[in-house]
A and B are shown apart, each in its own frame.
Chain A
Amino acid sequence: MIRLLLLTVIFLSTSSLAYAQFRLDLNRMMDAAKNVGKATREIGQEEEIAIGKDLAATLLGAAPLVNDPRMQRYVNNVGRWIASQSERPDLPWQFGVLDAPQLNAFAVPGGTVFITRGLLERMRSEAELAGVLGHEIVHVVKKHHLKAIQKGAQTALAGEALSMATQQSRNSVVNDKLISFGKEMYGRGLDKGDEFEADRLGVVLAARAGYDAYGLPSVLQTLQAMNAEDSGLALMFKTHPAPGERLDMLGEKMQPTLDAYSAQPQLAERFRAEFKPAR
């Protein structure tokens, strides 16, 4: 009798324990589901800037800034002036030249733009720089990366909602997912359509800022003239449509705009003067 009672007590306590455990898991699952929802809803500007901070720090972990304050300030002036002509002129825009020999440029959500020393060294004028920065600024303004990160994170989180339910810090899991998707995205690239849009509207932004609108096409021709097997182009070519294809698209849609603003300044002299110390 006592033994039976004891067994009953043990059974009851274990089952209530199991019940408590189950409830806890249910709560966690609901939290996880909420976080999935969070990753799918519209991300506000503050959050966009916070995500961008983490991604920018990560890109700077791959390559530091060129140690040349004059060069950094010059690129910031050009970039900030162009960004001021965009639909999001009041983001905390900042621009950085990465000390990497590869040729590339990156836009980070929230208003951070990077260009590599390798790409800058291939340019001939401020208008060319303006064309590339204009392209990257469009990625930020149109939230191309933010939307791609969101989409990627959403898929992953939905699949992992169950396993996430058993983990401790669910918010940091969501955050880590966003970052790891961000990293992957910078290695994989955006949709072609986003790149073509950034080309078209980047040309418009450069023209609005008063530059010769042919800066971006000119850089694309430089890229095309390089050996496609140049290792410095690997990531750029992996993540973007071929320069020839981009030029075709620009020629098709942008010829009137390009021609209307082709006589604006190229500022080749100012560009060369600013880069004398580095060259």
Chain B
Amino acid sequence: MRLLLLLLLFPALAWAEPATTIRQVDIKKAPAADADTIGQIAENTAVDALERKGGWTRVKSASGEGWVRMLALRFGGPGAARQGDSGVSKLFNVARTGSSGTTVTTGVRGLDPEMLANAQPNPAELAKMHQFAATRDAAAGFAAKGKLQARQVEEVQ
């Protein structure tokens, strides 16, 4: 019961989302490369994604439950891996009506392309923003509280 309450409070803790494998993947017993392999899922198979730990996602599939490489999954159900640009262009074709080329803005307000183009500067809001800025030292203290440690990591080009 308490667990259920927790799940209701924090839906982020557990989620089941339909996903599709973009390649054949091993199912691991634990979220680690050297963990036991307990099965395999074929390419383009529908699974349910349950939680993520580092680069691993726990999934439920017809071939069993366990951990697979997070980057081997694409979300949004079967065929999701191929959705991408076509979905977007379709969206924009729908949004564009009439020969005049006027775009019907679908968002309520704020950050649609046209509203952005018509936006007038709001210097008062910018001044307000300054007061929330953190100093370098304050941010370092905040990081230490979260047990975050700065590391040397090479750039990848």
Contact = CB atoms under 8 A, between A and B. Distances in A.
A263 B109 contact: no
A210 to B, nearest CB: 4
Nearest to A256: B156
A264 B84 CA distance: 30
B151 A207 contact: yes
B126 A60 contact: yes
A93 B138 CA distance: 13
Most chain B CB inside 10 Å of its own CB: which residue of A221, A231, A259: A221
Contact of B134 (A80, A112, A243): A80
Interface residues of A, dominant DSSP: helix
Interface residues of B, number: 71
Contacts of A93: 133
A265 B120 contact: no
Contact of A58 (B76, B85, B119): B119
A262 interface: yes
Contacts of B2: none
A209 B150 contact: yes
Given A186-B116, A211-B148, A221-B73, A65 B125 contact: yes
Given A201-B155, A247-B71, A262-B55, A65 B12 contact: no
Given A98-B110, A229-B91, 16 more contacts: A63-B110, A63-B111, A65-B125, A72-B132, A76-B132, A76-B134, A77-B143, A78-B142, A95-B132, A200-B156, A210-B143, A211-B148, A222-B75, A243-B84, A253-B156, A265-B148
14 contacts: A59-B119, A72-B132, A76-B139, A183-B119, A209-B148, A221-B74, A224-B74, A225-B19, A234-B112, A237-B88, A244-B80, A254-B156, A257-B156, A265-B148
